[in-house]
Amino acid sequence: MYCNMLWKNWVGKTPILWFKCSPTWRIIICRKWWVLFLGILLLASCTLKMAYQYADWIALWSIDDYFDLNSEQKERLETTIQRHLTWHKNSELLTYVALLKELKQKSQDGLDFEEIDWFFTNIEQLRKNLVNRVLPDTSAFLADLTEEQIQFFETQLLEFNESALERAQLSPEERLERRVERTLELLEDWFGELSPDQQKEISQLSRKLPETLTERIKLRETRQKEFIALLRSGRGAQVIHEQLIVWFVNVEQAYPSHYQQMIREQKEAVKQMMLSVDRILIPEQRAHAIEQIDELIEDMEDIISS
């Protein structure tokens, strides 16, 4: 029943993509072009088909926004992006549909912890499928960047870091209030109107989630420096590919041990929150969520058949 919620809360905190609990690429950059394709599927169902239709343009725009592409790079990337989108449509969307159908069946009478854990595990595998698919082309693209483009990228990162630091400068209470507001908005979108008692309980649950922002910013700054150094190393696509595998395939293992522990605790806390929310839903709210799942399945099947 938590498809959209889990995808958005666990898989996609960034503006156009993955992982609310901070995968390594989010630590390097916010708009990661090689996961855009799956991120498209995390949009509301009413915009899903349109987003997929324009995914190639959105992806190219995102890359250009960070690297200031020349005409030759744009032409090559157009072909590459379209190839990945075709693969995604013909292969991965079928897996998403099957996952959603199973989630629908499991959620009819509410979810237990094992079922929530099952969904997280499947989402992680989908992420790895996508990363493994696009990393070779990503590595080749990064290896061909000019020094001017690396400098441009570095400037864009600094601009993004400024906005992140502004959030970090908010008081702990302000950050908690923003989290609560986002959580309630997301849940009401998914389950329909929440009662005052439900809002109160969910607010309390949201406030109890572990805070990782400060550590995440520190780690991101370190990883960005490592990433820029890798781009400037001139060691070629193969070396870049090997390092990206370390950072992005088994994501948590690339973190320092203390941050690995923080992420494990945060992940388990999110799962427990999902379980607690499930227990306070009324039948009408469960039915609303099932309708949302059905709409996502229908849209994905329409995309597959188009």
Q: What is the pLDDT of residues 204-242, one digit of tens each?
A: 999 999 888 888 888 888 899 999 999 999 999 999 999
Asked if pLDDT for residue 45 goes beyond 80, the answer is no
Identify each DSSP E strand in the chain by its residue range: none
Question: Domain for residue 40, yes or no?
Answer: yes
Q: Tell me, what's the pLDDT at 194?
A: 96
Tell me which residue has tokens 């449509």. 89
Residue that wins the pLDDT comparison between 115 and 8: 115
Could you tell me if residue 4 is inside a domain? Answer: no
Q: ∠204-210-214 over CA atoms, to 5°? A: 130
Q: Which domain holds residue 104?
A: 9-301
Could you tell me the pLDDT band of residue 161, with boundaries at 50, 70 and 90? confident
Quote the mean pLDDT of the chain. 82
Task: List CB contacts of 103: < 8 A, sequence separation 6 or more.
Answer: 1, 2, 3, 119, 293
Structural element, H or E, at residue 29: none
For residue 29, pLDDT beyond 60: no
Listed in sequence order, the DSSP H helices in 92-195 are 93-107, 113-143, 147-168, 172-191
The model's confidence at residue 305, banded by pLDDT at 50, 70 and 90, is very high
- Residue 47, pLDDT score: 62
CA quadruple 278, 282, 288, 290: dihedral positive or negative?
positive
Output the pLDDT for position 80.
93
What is the pLDDT averaged over residues 25-46? 40
Q: What is the per-residue pLDDT for 212?
A: 85
Q: 207 or 36: which carries more pLDDT confidence? A: 207
Residues above pLDDT 90, as percent of the chain: 50
Confidence of residue 269 (pLDDT cuts 50, 70, 90): very high
Per the structure, the count of domains in the chain is 1
Q: Evaluate whether residue 263 is within a structural domain.
A: yes
In a domain, 2, yes or no: no
Give the SS3 label for residue 234: coil
Residues 6+ apart with CB under 8 A from 199: 184
Give pLDDT tens digits for 76-110. 999 999 999 999 999 999 999 999 999 999 988 88
Crossing angle for the helix pair 283-305 and 172-191, to the nearest 10 degrees: 80
Model pLDDT, residue 202: 95
pLDDT at 283 over 90: yes
Instruction: Name the helix (H) or strand (E) containing 91.
Output: none
Average pLDDT, integer, range 148-162? 90
Nearest Cα residue to 34 out of 161, 153, 164, 132: 132
The backbone torsions φ and ψ at residue 41, rounded to the nearest 5 degrees and listed phi first, read: -75, -5
Q: In the numeric block, which tokens belong to residue 264?
A: 């494990």
User: d(Cα 177, Cα 161) in Å, to the nearest integer?
Assistant: 22
Residue 50 forms part of a structural domain: yes
Per-residue confidence (pLDDT) for residue 228, from 0 to 100: 95
Mean pLDDT check: name the lowest of 158-172, 201-215, 257-271.
158-172
Section 157-179 average pLDDT: 86
What pLDDT, on a 0 to 100 scale, did the predictor assign at position 67?
Answer: 93
C-alpha to C-alpha distance for 161 and 148, rounded to whole angstroms: 20
Q: What is the pLDDT of residue 37?
A: 37
Residue 306 inside a domain? The answer is no
Enter the pTM of the model: 0.80
Within 13 Å, how many C-alpha atoms sit on residue 26's CB side? 21
Residue 103 lies in a domain: yes
- For residue 120, being part of any structural domain is answered with yes
- How far apart (Å, rounded) are the C-alpha atoms in residues 251 and 260? 9
